[in-house]
Amino acid sequence: MLIGYMRVSKTDGSQTTDLQHDALIAAGVAADHIYEDRASGKLDARPGLDAALKSLREGDTLVVWKLDRLGRDLRHLVNTVHDLAGRGVGFKVLSGHGASIDTTTPAGKLVFGIFAALAEFERELISERTKAGLASARARGRSGGAPYKMTVTKLRFAMAAMGQPETKVGDLCNELGITRQTLYRHVDPDGNLRDDGEKLLAGRRK
């Protein structure tokens, strides 16, 4: 059975799910098997997604219009799809950058494996850079992980991590090589950007 999921970020009616709905229907998803949310992808509380995931049974396939409709970041996507695979559930993306992902086929599994490898590579790269920075500081007679500035890469990682309930702030700061003060100047406890975070990303875009 095919189960569809669609999402728009705004609840004020300025965005519609018509395009997603039509694409899911064209892909063979029955109208009564489509779930939806009107919420930011950063939010953990998404009743529609929760209901869709709960309805899936072994042999079913979860279908989304684009990859970003499902999750808020690469690591969340990878974890979600791994959970589905463990239940014997497939995952298929209809269009956009992830359109080659269809875990019910060998080629689609290969593409998703690349996505998973990139997520792991990003995590390890941040960890390696943090350790190298600490070692360099100690060689100069400094101890601890502060002060080290926030970077765009660290900021994106922090945004993703802070949105997950299992994240321990102390461990995250150690991994990124920053202080709690620096972390909370850039993001709030839910992973949303604060003023310093907005300025950092704005500077990167210029």
Other C-beta atoms lying within 10 Å of the C-beta of residue 59: 11
Q: Answer for the pair 123, 132: CB distance below 8 angstroms, yes or no.
A: no
CB environment 90-107: b (16+ within 10 A), e (fewer):
bbbbbeeebeebbbeeee
Is 9 an annotated catalytic residue?
yes
Of the candidates 9, 40, 55, 136, the residue annotated as catalytic is 9
Helices (H), ranges, 2-56: 18-26, 47-55
Q: Is 190 exposed, middle or buried (0-12, 13-18, 19+ CB in 10 A)?
A: exposed
| Radius of gyration for the alpha carbons in the chain, expressed in angstroms and rounded | 19
Consecutive H or E run containing 3: strand 2-8
What are the catalytic residues?
Answer: 9
